[in-house]
Amino acid sequence: MIKPDLSLPIPETITSVHFVGIGGSGMSGLARMFLAAGHAVSGSDRSDSPALRELAALGATVHVGHDAAHLGDADTVVHTGAIWPENPEYVTAKERGLAVIHRSQALYWLIGGRRLVSIAGAHGKTTSTGMLVTALQQLGQDPSFVNGGVIEQLGVSSGTGADPLFVVEADESDGTFLLYDTSVALITNVDPDHLDHYGTDEAFIDAFVRFGDKAREAVVISSDDPGALQVLGGLSHPNVLTFGRAAGSTLRLVDVATDGPVAFTAEYGDERVSAQLRIPGAHNAVNALGVVAVLIALGNGFAESMHAVEGFAGTGRRFELHGVVHGVSVYDDYAHHPTEVAAALTAARTVVGGGRIIALHQPHTYSRTGLMFREFAGVLEDCADHTIVLDVYGAREDPVEGVTGALVSNAFRDAEHVHYEPDWQAAADYAASFAREGDFIITLGCGNVNLIVPQLLEALGRTEP
């Protein structure tokens, strides 16, 4: 893992840029925007993917695998924190004296001096970013944007607009969200996470206080989330809009119906307006209200903003349906924190009807799993009918002895509700044999667990209807 050094200078001019890890959702979105701006773009990733093929079709030079020769004539190299310091492209770029910058710095360069909305939070920021972009378009505006997931209606995670407004999903995991010159900041929630970077809950909270106070125009923040309330107490910003169920919220959520796609009613001043979303889950009513508050901060009306969020159809890897085989629905969700897992499974419960929820959980990073395995087990056991646990996706971390998926499964109160299976094909076969018509199978994790979906669908196809 490479910690971003935000003190390094960002080049004034970029002509040819190379992305180390170009296939990730954030990196591929950045690469697409550099292409749209007329720059020569190249990049590499450890494995092939649809993102690589799409970028190649747009004119990028892409490589599978990492090799110093892939740098070509690039004058600037963009990397994420997930690569290792020994990466040959990173090492050679440093040796050559090229400009080597973190992806957040590349995004800063792209934004330039435009009016910026930065969306941060432990959960919900990808959904909120996508919802804000589509709502702005519904209101006749044309923002530029970079999101952490593909926006379903648009089929992309980034885009270049004609208006002087830029919307970004800002990453708090490594502190890089403090780099941007934000005009309007949205803080969805502040559930302590990423303590491998921050060290303490207090440092995590303080980073969000600094993020909010840096905003030039307004801060929009949850009035219900305990962590957000801690941040709210530390803010000195003169223009704060709060949203949630709490009395006294600037925008107050007064009614939520979760029978299928969520519907909700909210109050702002003397106005009361109802909206019907296309996506399920009470948490998405809260996300939508935060987006409406941002739209108001940008100068839009309350009622028109409420109706503008209604058309949002979701983002990739957020409760995404991949297929139905013999009456069994297979979904994928990016949830990788106990709070997110609970939200995803609660949303699934509102639409599964009489069927069962079968969770297929891939723990993400050894540090998070070691800290939160009991919380994961409790949420999965309470919110799913049965859970299959895979092994840990280490991402940027080296393995830790004793930290495996078994740590989660062994923490279940009732062993009948869980099955630990590190072999993916065996896990897919087990899920297919356990499922029956009307059930939901949902994969959970922000690693590569979505890649098991074809195996699940194929295994279901081999079962007797």
Q: Which residues are catalytic?
A: 125-126, 169
Distance between CA atoms of residues 187 and 122, nearest Å: 9
Strand partners, 264: 256, 275
| Rg of the chain (C-alpha set) | 22
Residues 6+ apart with CB under 8 A from 62: 22, 42, 43, 44, 45, 52, 55, 56
Smallest CA-to-CA distance from 316 within 166, 446, 439, 441 is with: 446
DSSP-derived 3-state class of residue 364: strand
* Signed CA dihedral, 80, 82, 85, 87: sign only: negative
Q: What six digits make up the tokens of 251? A: 């925008």
Contact 231, 211 (CB under 8 A): no
Contact 289, 253 (CB under 8 A): yes
The full length of the chain comes to 465
Tokens 């949205």 — which residue? 186
Backbone angles phi, psi at 257, to 5 degrees: -120, 125
Backbone angles phi, psi at 242, to 5 degrees: -110, 155
Backbone angles phi, psi at 91, to 5 degrees: -60, -45
Packing angle of the helix pair 282-297, 125-138 (nearest 10 deg): 50
Residues 6+ apart with CB under 8 A from 301: none
Residues 6+ apart with CB under 8 A from 330: 321, 322, 323, 324, 440, 441, 442, 443, 453, 456, 457, 460
Smallest CA-to-CA distance from 427 within 464, 395, 387, 397 is with: 387
